[in-house]
A and B are shown apart, each in its own frame.
Chain A
Amino acid sequence: MSQPLPMFQPVQATTWQMYRAMVGVGLLCGLLIVTVYQITLPVIKRNEAIALERAIFQVLPDARASASFQFNEEENRFEALEETTEGGRLVYAGYDDAGQLVGLAIEAEGMGYADVIRVLYGYSFAEDAIIGIRVLASKETPGLGDRIETDEAFLQNFVRLDASLKPDGTELAHPIILVKPGKKTNPWEVDGITGATISSSAIADMLDRSTSFWIPLVQRRADDFKKGAS
């Protein structure tokens, strides 16, 4: 620094002055951060819960209430969690006004064009199909890849996307696959988007992977999700 120092500041600070300044400021800053964190935490948690519930109701249009379930691998069954929380390896059950199970909302993720894409999809036991999808996080190119969220024709794929199992219930009867735009002939195929091939095939891939893992499992343990079962 070439500017002359103000008169009141001693040029040669003592060790104590330096410690005092850094430790003192550090202490104050620490207090401030922790206080604000404690105050905002409940609000942030509530916001997250509301956002998650809104997403669940969007992919399960008939649902009016939801509950989180975790798969317990040791006991080989789904266990209800106290409150709706977001986290790994959870599935969310949606119930209608009468308390009847309308379906499950399951999270899937996979590598897109720009970064990992995360989606939530709704699975209906009655239809044996995916009945809705919502992108939770994506950094796909605006105007091209992000059409996986807005393109009407693409979203039509997920109004009823077949996810039925083979008779023995161990795997999907037909893998979910991407076909060229407008070439969809079977209920388990996904029409791609011109100009967003990688993004739309990422969606089809992650749905295929996620359904082949979860659907046999949830079909076998479907009773776990009935209200009052656990």
Chain B
Amino acid sequence: MSMHDQPPSGTDEFIKGIWKENPVFVQALGMCPVLAVTNTAMNAIAMGLATMFVLVMSNITVSTLRRVIPRQVRIATYILIIATFVTIVEYVIQAISLDLHKALGAFISLIVVNCLILGRAEAFASKNTVVRSALDGLGSGIGFVFALFCLGAVREIFGAGELFGVELFHDGFQDWVVMVLPSGGFFTLAAWLLVFNALRQRREAAQAREVAI
């Protein structure tokens, strides 16, 4: 695919989900896992990867079947497809590590109702080719993992004085317990949204200046 094509290139489909249309920081989608299981960097990444797998697989399946699924029954069918991949992820995580499964708890099953996934299936995969849908899912998925990691890392550093379980500060560090509690998720998300909105405003201002010149 070349950059001269009228529809955006595959690379664009891939990149947009990571930054410009980041599911968490720009679209504010899928807030339940974002707030609930980002108390450590490891949990955040595991949750992100699980979501990414479901997102990519459901995008591919929905796109493959887009000509045989009538729109009257599309929501029911999409949800069935998504639920199937979530169930698979749940068993695989249980097979990999029981501790990880315990840490993520009910939130693995709740990937079924992550609006990011049904959103991509409905808005993108049902109208685009398999390759583009896979790239779109991969991009949004990486954007989601990135966002969850941003939250998980900050919360683990302040809440436990560690990153990936590695002690960061000397013994005098007093853990900010609030950061690993649910309220810490809201504080951290708000702080990151501030950062991302400030970055966007600065970029838009720069673009406006360029146009003016």
Contacts and interface: CB of A to CB of B under 8 A. Distances in A.
Given A21-B73, A32-B84, A43 B102 contact: no
B204 interface: no
A29 B181 contact: no
A47 B76 CA distance: 35
Chain A interface mostly: helix
Contacts of B95: 40, 43-44, 47
Contacts of A13: 70-73
Nearest to B68: A21
B87 A18 contact: no
Nearest to B127: A6
Contacts of B81: 25, 29
Nearest to A141: B181
A9 B212 CA distance: 45
A20 interface: yes
A89 B187 CA distance: 44
Nearest to B70: A13
Chain B interface mostly: helix
Interface in B93-129: 94-95, 97-98, 102, 127
Given A32-B88, A40-B91, A142-B181, A21 B77 contact: yes
A48 B102 CA distance: 12
A214 interface: no
Interface string A18-45: 1011101110010011001100100110
Contacts of B71: 1, 5, 9, 11, 13
16 contacts: A13-B70, A13-B71, A13-B72, A17-B70, A21-B68, A21-B70, A22-B73, A24-B68, A26-B80, A29-B80, A29-B83, A33-B87, A33-B88, A44-B91, A48-B98, A142-B177
Interface of B: 39, 65-73, 76-77, 80-81, 83-84, 87-88, 91-92, 94-95, 97-98, 102, 127, 159, 175, 177, 180-181
Interface of A: 1, 5-6, 8-11, 13, 17-18, 20-22, 24-26, 29, 32-33, 36-37, 40, 43-44, 47-48, 51, 137, 141-144
